[in-house]
Amino acid sequence: MTTRVLPMLIMNRSAEMKNRPFKDLLILCSAILLLVLSPLLSVCFGAADISFNDVFAIIYRLLGGEADVSAIKERIVLELRFPRIILAFLAGAGLSLSGAVLQTVTRNPLADPYLFGISSGASFGAVLVIASVGASSSVVSITGGAFIGGALSVLLVVSLAGMGVQIERMLLAGVAVQFMFSSATSLVLYLSDPQAAASLLFWILGSFTRASWDNLLLPAVIIAFCLVIFLAFSRPLRAILSGDESAKALGVEVYRLRIGMLLLSSLLTATLVASCGGIGFVGLMVPHIVRRILLNHSQYVLIGSAIFGGVFMIWVDVLARMLLENSELPVGVITAAMGSMFFLLVLKRRTGSA
């Protein structure tokens, strides 16, 4: 195989060498453009008819200028849409970050917060709080429930995986824990009456309708905190990609790092589940796509996943509020549909090239 691949590689290589700086610049510019334009453009979409001119005027007024725009439009944009966009960005960034780290630390391109049962644990915690306390339970207690559920699932995975924290055992444990919590959640749903069940479904399907300026701080802080730590450890993380033993030989404390990253990942995921319910597949798809785009820049995969994931989620949320006339589609439904298509594509590619 290599005798054929090698000459091909060398030929492609020389062509690539010439295009590479241009390609890098293109990627960088696209990223910045997306990051800046997405919030501005996406805020124009929604039930109310608000144009880009209106948005421009609103921002201008915000910066102290004078502009003519109706108060209600301003309120909708500033108090409903912007918080929602920010929450969507945070959720997309956080989940993608979590997925990227989990994939790296387990060397498994199919790892994501769902795989380790973190999301289902958090959902279960939230669902349990709502089911027992009632639909009027406070945000704090629901968040707390999600945290405890997420932490519990991590503890279970780690204890089931055993002392060595070997990847295969961890993945199997994660799948088992995920099934366990999913069925527990299903049980709770089953035992509640239909209207409460509909409410609980939110925690399983996800939505950004609850976004407001006062519930953005916690997710933002936690994501920033986790991002900083992930970036700090990006070098040892990339060392793990070449094997546990290889990483140990490079001085990396593999097991400690793995558990630490898993715990941090669960903190991140539980926070997001508590704010917007369970949203799947994002942590799986985004790092995949980003890795393909940033082929020669693996050190930027973490940041790239965060940015791309955040932007992606902003637009998914646009779909969530625009696809159905005058009503909302749960975000988790859209990501699940995209995720299954994505999976099929990946499978097709693999079986084609294998």
Q: Per CB under 8 A, which of residues 322..341 are in contact with other proteins?
A: 324-330
Q: CA-CA distance, 308 to 303, in Å (whole number)?
A: 8
Q: Considering the complex, what minimum distance in angstroms separates the CB of residue 326 from other proteins?
A: 6
140 forms part of the interface with other proteins (CB under 8 A): no
Q: Considering the complex, what minimum distance in angstroms separates the CB of residue 30 from other proteins?
A: 20
Looking at the Cβ atoms of 83 and 152, the one nearer to other proteins is: 83
Looking at the Cβ atoms of 93 and 211, the one nearer to other proteins is: 211
79 forms part of the interface with other proteins (CB under 8 A): yes
Q: CA-CA distance, 70 to 59, in Å (whole number)?
A: 13
66 forms part of the interface with other proteins (CB under 8 A): no
Q: CA-CA distance, 199 to 172, in Å (whole number)?
A: 31
Looking at the Cβ atoms of 33 and 198, the one nearer to other proteins is: 198
260 forms part of the interface with other proteins (CB under 8 A): no
Among residue numbers 219 through 248, which ones bind other proteins (CB under 8 A)? Answer: 231-233, 235-236, 238-239, 241-243, 245-246, 248
Q: CA-CA distance, 204 to 249, in Å (whole number)?
A: 42
Candidate ranges 30-38, 155-163, 173-181, 186-194; the one touching other proteins (CB under 8 A): 186-194
Looking at the Cβ atoms of 155 and 319, the one nearer to other proteins is: 319
Q: Considering the complex, what minimum distance in angstroms separates the CB of residue 155 from other proteins?
A: 26
Q: Considering the complex, what minimum distance in angstroms separates the CB of residue 119 from other proteins?
A: 18
What are the φ/ψ torsions at residue 250 (nearest 5 degrees)?
-95, 5
Residue 183 in contact with residue 255, Cβ under 8 Å?
A: no
Answer for which of 23, 61, 73, 169 binds other proteins (CB under 8 A) is 73
- Number of Cα atoms under 13 Å in the Cβ half of residue 260: 13
Candidate ranges 90-98, 144-152, 292-300, 303-311; the one touching other proteins (CB under 8 A): 292-300
Number of Cβ within 10 Å of residue 238's Cβ equals 17
Answer for which of 24, 134, 159, 213 binds other proteins (CB under 8 A) is 134
DSSP per residue over 139-181, as a string? HHHHHHHHHHHHHHHHHHHHHHHTTTT-HHHHHHHHHHHHHHH
144 forms part of the interface with other proteins (CB under 8 A): no
194 forms part of the interface with other proteins (CB under 8 A): yes
283 forms part of the interface with other proteins (CB under 8 A): no
Any alpha helices (H) in the chain, and if so which ranges? 2-42, 52-62, 71-75, 82-106, 118-133, 139-161, 167-191, 194-205, 217-232, 234-240, 244-249, 254-276, 282-293, 301-322, 331-353
Q: Considering the complex, what minimum distance in angstroms separates the CB of residue 94 from other proteins?
A: 21
Q: Considering the complex, what minimum distance in angstroms separates the CB of residue 177 from other proteins?
A: 24
* Contacts of residue 121, Cβ cutoff 8 Å, sequence gap at least 6: 149, 150, 151, 152, 153, 154, 156, 177, 181, 266, 270
